[in-house]
Structure 1
């Protein structure tokens, strides 16, 4: 288990992490989400003793990271996959880690085979693609067969088969009773991998809840109905205390009612239905709604045919344009 209590990190006047308190429990995949600049990387670095907190503490199975004997046997982490010695082979990179942590040499071959790199074990990582580098980083995290694993963007650079493999790996590790903590910007993948979510914004805790509860609490769910007789259906529903609202596309939207009840009312009044579908929000929609006020950099799209900056003769913003941020469900990766 990973336990944070009042964890705070300041850099001068900037507070990167602000009194974070939460626990990462074994047996489930816990997703770690937040906009760029929210403090996720700083938090994970403090978990591993790479940065010292200004106040508060982190405990790994009840101990600080620097109190762990042979730490790779307790917690394995992938933070920067390319942070390896470019002159060593993949095998020797893992061998050095193994020998410094009292891990048997045979474990090196086992993890290389596990991540699909056995055929390139004697090659140097400096020639690896992004996806191969990710696999080597995952191999290092699993080297000590730890009870706790932490992954930061583990599917970055992987092809669809690799993404599927990482997803199954994390779920398998959790099913074995291990603690699995993963940070990712790939919302579509997180939604089918994680069971629990920890969400932070501007260094502060915003949510610590199950995936299902997070989506339910931060989004709208409703039933969409299409019928050639919308007025008849609206009247029939209204008579039973159900309010249906007309949407711009001609459909009806009903909040707070199961689709079965709406179908029963339509059948009783012999109203033909062309569509009766529950609309459930995605993780991305729920995340965007919750974190809208904590995004540090907002992108703005100029209206078509309109200038994107101030009108001629108007004051320019100090310091030029602010950086912009884009959120999406995926991206193109180099191999």
Structure 2
């Protein structure tokens, strides 16, 4: 388990991480999301003791990383897949790590097979593709068979087969009761992998919740209806107190409605429906909405400055405070 308490990191006048408090628990894949410059990499570096916090604390099962007697067997991490000697073969790179951390030589062959690099084990890593380098970095994280794993952009450079493999690997590790903490910008993949999300923006915590609750709280859901008789359908629904909104493609959007009720009304009035489907926002849409006010670099259109964005993160924090106050009452 990884625990952060008021973790803060400043570089001069720049606050990279601002009073972060959250817990990464075992048994689930926890996704770590945030826009560029949000402070994710700095947070991960502080977890590993590579950067020292300005204030606050971060512990791994109650200990600082530097206090772990066998860190490689306790926690494995991939922060930069290029952080290796390019002149060494994949095998020798892992062997050096193993010997420096009192890990049996046999483990090197095991992790090479796990990541699919056995056939290129004797090749120098400087000739590896980006995806092969990622696999080697993941092998290094797995080398000590650790109970806690942390990955920063693990799917970067991987092909579809590789992405499918790392997804199943992380899920499998979590199913074994291990702590898995992963940062990624690939929202579609994170939606298939993570069960819990921690979202930050400009160093501040924006969300710490389950995947399902995150999407529900930060997106809109509606019913999409298409019919060759739009005017009749609109009249029928309006009489029933349902207000459909006509979209540009000729379909209707119904908010806060029941798909079963809409279908029954259409059947009662012998209306043909070409589509009746509940729509739910994707993780990417929910993420964009929550972090809109925390994006440091907004792209304008045709030279025009980007419009100011609403502070969805502040609204999420206000909702959480209201929930806590309701429980205390």
TM-score, structure 1 as length reference: 0.88
- 1:152 corresponds in structure 2 to 152
**How many angstroms does 1:20 deviate by?**
0.3
CA deviations 1:98-143 (Å, max 9, x no partner) are 1222211111110011111111112221111111110000000000
Classify the secondary structure of the residue corresponding to 2:17. strand
**How many angstroms does 1:301 deviate by?**
2.0
- 1:173 corresponds in structure 2 to 173
CA deviations 1:248-302 (Å, max 9, x no partner) are 3222111112322210111112111111111111111111111111100111122
Q: Distance in 2 between matches of 1:50 and 1:283?
A: 31
Classify the secondary structure of the residue corresponding to 1:171. helix
- 1:231 corresponds in structure 2 to 231
CA deviations 1:57-110 (Å, max 9, x no partner) are 111111100000110111100000010022222112111211222211111110
2:141 paired with 1:141: yes
Superposition misfits of 4+ residues, deviation over 6 angstroms: none
Q: Distance in 2 between matches of 1:86 and 1:226?
A: 58
CA deviations 1:142-182 (Å, max 9, x no partner) are 00111110111111111111111011101111111111111
Q: Aligned ranges for residues 161-240 of structure 1 at < 5 Å?
A: 161-240=161-240
Aligned length, in residue pairs: 305
Q: Aligned ranges for residues 265-284 of structure 1 at < 5 Å?
A: 265-284=265-284
- 1:260 corresponds in structure 2 to 260
CA deviations 1:3-53 (Å, max 9, x no partner) are 101000000111000000001111111111000000000000000000000
**Aligned Cα RMSD in Å?**
1.3
Classify the secondary structure of the residue corresponding to 2:206. strand
- 1:325 corresponds in structure 2 to none
Classify the secondary structure of the residue corresponding to 2:4. strand
Change (3 A) 1:282 1:54: same
Relative to structure 2, which stretch is displaced further, 229-238 or 284-293?
229-238
Classify the secondary structure of the residue corresponding to 1:4. strand
Q: Aligned ranges for residues 38-49 of structure 1 at < 5 Å?
A: 38-49=38-49
Q: Distance in 2 between matches of 1:33 and 1:25?
A: 16
**How many angstroms does 1:243 deviate by?**
2.1
Q: Distance in 2 between matches of 1:283 and 1:251?
A: 23
- 1:7 corresponds in structure 2 to 7
2:63 paired with 1:63: yes
- 2:20 corresponds in structure 1 to 20
Classify the secondary structure of the residue corresponding to 1:273. coil
TM-score, structure 2 as length reference: 0.90
Q: Name stretches of at least 5 consecutive residues in structure 1 with no aligned partner.
A: 303-307, 311-335
Q: Distance in 2 between matches of 1:118 and 1:246?
A: 57
Q: Aligned ranges for residues 287-326 of structure 1 at < 5 Å?
A: 287-302=287-302, 308=303
- 2:37 corresponds in structure 1 to 37
Q: Name stretches of at least 5 consecutive residues in structure 2 with no aligned partner.
A: 306-329
Q: Distance in 2 between matches of 1:53 and 1:17?
A: 9
**How many angstroms does 1:309 deviate by?**
6.7
**How many angstroms does 1:242 deviate by?**
2.2
More helix by share: 2
